[in-house]
Structure 1
Amino acid sequence: MRTNRQTGSKWRASGGLSACATMLAALAASTLLISTAGWAGDADPLRLCADPTNLPFSSDIPSQPGFYLEIGQALSQQIGRPVTYDWYKSYFGKRTVRVTLLGRQCDAMIGLPLSSDFMGPAVIFSKKITTEAYALVSLKTLTLSGIDDLRGKRVAVQYQTTPQNLLAERDDIAKVTVLTPDEGMAALAQGKADVAFVWGPVAGWLNKTAYDGRFQVQPVEGAGLSWDAAIGFARTSTELRDQIDAALPKLEGRIAELAAKYGLPSEPPIKLGAASAPIRLAALGNPIPIVRQSTAAATVTTVAETGASDPKAEVVVLGKEIFNGTCAHCHGPDAVQAERRIDLRRLQTRYGEDMRDKFWTTVHEGRPSKGMPAWKEVFTDDQFESIYAFLLTVQSSETAN
C-alpha cells in the first residue's frame, strides 16, 4: 500500500514490523525545517508534504531522505527557496492530500498520479517526474518477457492488487499470496516462490539494500499496472507549478541518478494486459487497491441490503468508504477477514450489549500493544458513528463458528 523503517512501505513494513503494524503506526504531523543556512532571509520556504516512513520515496532520516525528498531538495536549490516538510502518513490516501496539500499545510506533494481523475480539478500537476509500476522479480537466470512465461511457476503476488486480479484468470500459474513487497521478496529468497509480482519501487529498493542486487526487477506496464508520477499542487498554486515545471528539465540527470541510488527499476517494461484498477496515492510505496470480495462461509448482511430508501443507508455507505480506505488493510475489505482475532464481523458475538462501548473505546484510544493506534485525532465522532453503522450491517453469528 513497508521496509526498513518501512523500506517498502504503507503500503510497507519491514524491519521486523508487520504490514498492518507499519500501516497503522502513529501519525506524525510535525514540520521539520531543513538547513536554511545560505538562503536569503526573506525567501519563503518550499513546504513539501512528506511521509516520514516511506522509503524508497521519503523518510525523516536526514542521511536517507528518499527519492522524492531528494528531488524536492534539488528543486528548492533551483528556485532559490529553503525546504521544509509537513510529515503525514501517506497510507491515508486522498485524505492525506486533503489534510496537507489542500489544507494549506504544505505547498507541494511529490509522487502523485499524473491523472486528471486524481482529485481534479482541486489538484494540479507538474510535468512527469517518473513512471512507477509493479514488477516481476526473479533470479537473473530466469527469462521473463510476458505473462505466459509464468506458466507452471509459483508466483508470490500482492493481495488485492491488479497483479492478483490478472493472475486469478490463470489456472496454470500457482499463486502464493503475500501482503507486502517485503513478504514477496522473502518468499522468493526462501525458495517458496519462483517469481514475485509486487510493487516495483519497493522491490528495487529491497533488492539493492537487503538482497545485494541478487534479483532482476523488471517493471511491467498495462492497465492498472503502471502510471506516471508528478508533483501535485493546490489549484491556486499555478505560479509555483510553473516555476517547478521550468526547473524540472534541468534536473533530468539528477533524477536519474537518484532513481539509481534508491534502486528504482530501470529496465524496459514488460507489456502485460490487465483489467483497470483504481488509482491510489502514488506516494504510497505499497498501493493496495480495494477489490470487492464475497464469502460463502458466512451469511452476512451487506450494505446493499439496507436499501436505497433506508434513511440510514447514506451513513452506512460513508462508514463503509472510510472503513475500506483506512481499516481494510488489517481487517479486510468490507470487513471480510478470515483471522478470527481481527474479524470485525464477530463483534456482536464477542461483546453483545457492550459492542458499542468496546468499539468506541478501541477506535478512540487504540490498542498499542496489538499494533492499532488511536484514531481520535484522525476522524470525527460523526465519522466513527458511520463506521459503526456499517459494521452493524456485517455482523454474523456464523463467522464465530
Structure 2
Amino acid sequence: MTTAPTSAPRPRAHLIAGMASVLVSGLLGMTWLWISILTLVSGLSGLLAAGTGMVVLIPWAMAMRWAAAVERRRALAVHGVEVVVPARRLARRSGVVGWLHQLWLDVASGPFWRAALHHHAVMLVGLLLSALFWTVLVSSAALALSLLGLATPPPRLGTAAVAALACALLLLAVGILAVGAVAERGLARVMLPDADDALREEVVELAERRQGAVDAATAERLRIERDLHDGVQPRLVALSMTLGLARSRIASDPERAEQLVAEAHEESKAIMTELRQLARGIHPAVLTDRGLDAALSALAARSTIPVELHVDVPTPAGREAEAVAYFVVSEALTNIAKHSGASRARADVRGDASALRIVVEDDGIGGAQVRRDGVSTGLAGLTDRVRATGGSLEISSARLGADGRGTRLAAVIPHDRKDTPR
C-alpha cells in the first residue's frame, strides 16, 4: 500500500517568540540603530573627502548583508514568513578584487536596500513599542506595589480599582508586544525580498544572456559569410574557370589540358583544406573527440608564435563551456599573431567547481579593444559568446609602444552542468 506524498508543513508564527523579538528589536534600536545611521551618514559625507568614506561604508555594507541574512531567518523562525533569498549577480573575478566587486554588486541591487530599510524599520518600531511597553509595565508594577503597601497608592482610588487598573495595564503591556509582533510580521511580508524580486533579477540576467547569444550568433554568421565570400567562393570560381579552360583544350592541346587539370586538382585539395579549417572554426572535431586539453594543445602547436600553454581542468565543464573556452583561446592567439607583434604568448586554462578561468597574455604592443564597427569585431564576438554563458571577459591592453606590457585577456565561463558527461 502506497501513501500519497505529504507536503511540507507551512511555517507558523509564534506569538510568544514574536513578542520577545519585539523586545530584542527595541534593545537593538537603542544601540545599533543609531550606530548604523551615523555610520552610513558619515560614510556618505566622507565620499566627498577624497573617497575616505569607503573605509566606513565597506564595513557597514558587510554588516547589512549579515543583518539581511539574520532578518530572513528571524522572519521564518519567529513570524512564519518564508522569504526567498534573492538571486545575486556573482562576481567573475577572484581574490580581493573579486570580493570587492561582489560587495559592489550586492550594494547596487534593490533587494539589498529593501533588506537594509526593513532592518532599520524593525528596530525603529521595536524601539517605540518597547518604550511604550516598559512605560505601561512599570506603571502596572507601581500599582501592584501600592497594593502591597510598598508604594503610595493613587489618591481617590480604592483597593479594587487599583487592582483592576494594574491588571488592565498589564494586559495592555502584553497587547503592545502582541501588536509589535504583528507589525514585525507585516514588515517582513512587505519589505523583505520575495519571489517576485528573485524572478525580476533572473529575468534581467536571462535577458542579458539571450542578447549575448543573439549577438554571438550574428557575429558567427557574418564571419562564416565573410570567409566563404572572401576565401572559398573566389577559389571555387577560379577552379571552375580552370576546368572550363582545360575542357576547351582537350582536343586541340592535350598537354596543356592535362596541366590545367593537374592545377585544378591541387586547387581542389587546397579548397578542401580551407573548408576543413572553416568547419573547425564552427566547432573543432578534436574538441569533441579528445577533449579541451588536446584541442588547446593543437591550437598552440599551430600558432605562428611560441605559446606557453597550461591546462588544469580536473573535471569536464560541459560541451558549451568547453567550446566557448576553445574559441576564446583560439581568437586570442589569432589576434596576437596578426596584430600584437609579440614574440611569445601564454595561455592558462584552469577549472574549479563552478567555472573555467582563462588567461591569455602576450608581450606585444597592446592596444586591443572591443570594437563593434563592422571592421574588427573578433573581440566583440568573443565578449558576446562569453556573456551568453553567463560569464565575463575582461581585456587589459594599454598601448604603450614597442616596450609596452602587452595584452591580457581574462575570461570566466560558468560550467554548463546540464550536459556535463557523467
TM-score, length basis structure 1: 0.21
TM-score, length basis structure 2: 0.20
Higher strand share: 1
Question: Rg bigger for which structure?
Answer: 2
